[in-house]
Amino acid sequence: MNLVELNKIANALVAPGKGILAADESSGTIKKRFDSIDVESTEDARRDYREMLFRTTEAMENHISGVILFDETIRQNAKDGTPLVKLIQDAGSIPGIKVDKGAQDLAGAPGEKITEGLDGLRARLNEYYELGARFAKWRAVIDIAGNDIPSGYSISTNAHALARYAALCQEANIVPIVEPEVLMDGDHDIDRCYEVTEFTLKTLFDELYAQDVALEGTVLKPNMVISGKKCKEQASVAEVAEMTVRCFRQSVPAALPGIVFLSGGQSDVEATAHLNAMNEQYSDQMPWGLSFSYGRALQAAPLKAWSGKAENVPAAQAAFNHRAKMNGLAQLGEWSD
């Protein structure tokens, strides 16, 4: 493991004014996104869509530090034969790869999930490194439902798997992004989200320590502390910012170079406003870089503008440019709507 190199990549992912584009939708998820714009999810359509994003030069060069890819995409070429990975690298951005194989039912815990994908991971990571990946992502899914979900069992098994994945990544000189996503579905209030997120993060960092993962070469991708989508009382932007930063200060070690949020179903403007409020008001209290690793909050507007038509590419790229720029400003705490 080359910790100096890992640390350099981790810091680059949270460089000032920049964050990550999560474009690693699995085949099932991208089909759902394409269904929403009435486009059939063929290999060519997926290529055209992602090529459109990666050729958005202004956004890619100035605001996108790295791009998370799906297995198909890291092997795919643009229409003119250029590898998609090269488009990302040529824009000065870092290619990354989703390596988990999705969440499955956790035995003995009805309603809870465990993320799979550890078998054979060492060999896959070595191949992804050769293909250009310098960071990876593994997402654990923690649901909140009633008083009994999540169980301590589901949190600890997911944290254990995240740490095993992270240790294997570092062995392969790939920066692990560890993503324990506490879902915002449900009617729970923001206090319940705080409690579950804090417990999850403390458990995760215990496991990373137990498995000797170097925090200097790791990035955290968490949810924000936020009200459940169906909760009657929705917390304000100021409350989300204050409680999220407080939660992280309690549970995330200072040695970690960066934290990059998932958007998790927030609207694109909400995701920008929350990130901006944290960086604007609390930058002096945060030892880590705080940025974005958004999927939906970066792609919803360009996906809609594109709608599968070549003639819409300029409009889609303008939409992607705009959101990337707004989130870049939010990383600096300089965004206003």
The catalytic site residues sit at 179, 221
> Helices in the chain by DSSP H: which ranges?
3-13, 27-35, 43-54, 57-62, 71-74, 84-90, 121-130, 152-171, 190-210, 237-251, 268-282, 296-306, 313-332
Distance CA 31, CA 297 (A): 17
Q: Applying CB under 6 A, does 50 fall inside the site for ligand 13P?
A: no
Which of positions 129-158 make contact with ligand 13P (CB under 6 A)? 139
294 makes contact with ligand 13P (CB under 6 A): yes
176 touches ligand 13P by CB under 6 A: no
For ligand 13P (CB under 6 A), the number of binding residues is 10
18 lines the binding site for ligand 13P (CB under 6 A): no
Which segment (7-15, 54-62, 187-195, 292-300) binds ligand 13P by CB under 6 A? 292-300
* Integer angstrom CA distances of residue 86 from 78, 97, 163, 182, 187: 9, 14, 30, 34, 43
Asked whether position 262 contacts ligand 13P by CB under 6 A, the answer is: yes
Q: Please select the residue that binds ligand 13P; options are 9, 10, 21, 22, rule is CB under 6 A.
A: 22
CB 241 → ligand 13P: shortest distance, Å? 18
66 binds ligand 13P (CB under 6 A): no
Shortest distance in whole angstroms from residue 33 CB to ligand 13P: 10
CA nearest to 76, candidates 33, 54, 43: 43
Give me the residue whose beta carbon is nearest to ligand 13P.
Answer: 295
The smaller minimum CB distance to ligand 13P, of residues 20 and 316, is found at 20
What sign for the dihedral angle of Cα 263, 154, 247, 117?
negative
Q: How far is CA 298 from CA 91, 137, 197, in A?
A: 18, 18, 24
Cβ distance to ligand 13P smaller for residue 18 or 139: 139
d(CA 146, CA 132) in angstroms, rounded, equals 43
Binding segment for ligand 13P (CB under 6 A), chosen from 224-232, 237-245, 293-301, 311-319, is 293-301
**Contact region for ligand 13P (CB under 6 A) — 51-59, 225-233, 290-298, 317-325?**
290-298
For ligand 13P, the closer of residues 35 and 148 by Cβ is 35
| Residue 109, burial from CB neighbour count under 10 angstroms (0-12, 13-18, 19+) | middle
Query: φ, ψ for residue 119 (rounded to 5)?
Result: -65, 130
**Closer residue to ligand 13P (CB): 72 or 90:** 72
In the complex, the smallest distance separating the C-beta of residue 135 from ligand 13P, rounded to whole angstroms, is: 12
Do 218 and 166 meet the contact criterion of CB atoms below 8 Å apart? yes
Quick check: 84 and 70 in contact, CB under 8 A?
Answer: no
Q: Least distance to ligand 13P from the beta carbon of 332, Å? A: 20
In 65-76, which positions are buried (b, 16+ CB within 10 angstroms) versus exposed (e)? bbbbbbbebbeb
Instruction: Confirm or reject binding of residue 295 to ligand 13P (CB under 6 A).
Output: yes
Contact between 297 and ligand 13P (CB under 6 A)?
yes
Contacts with ligand 13P by CB under 6 A lie at 22, 139, 179, 262-264, 294-297
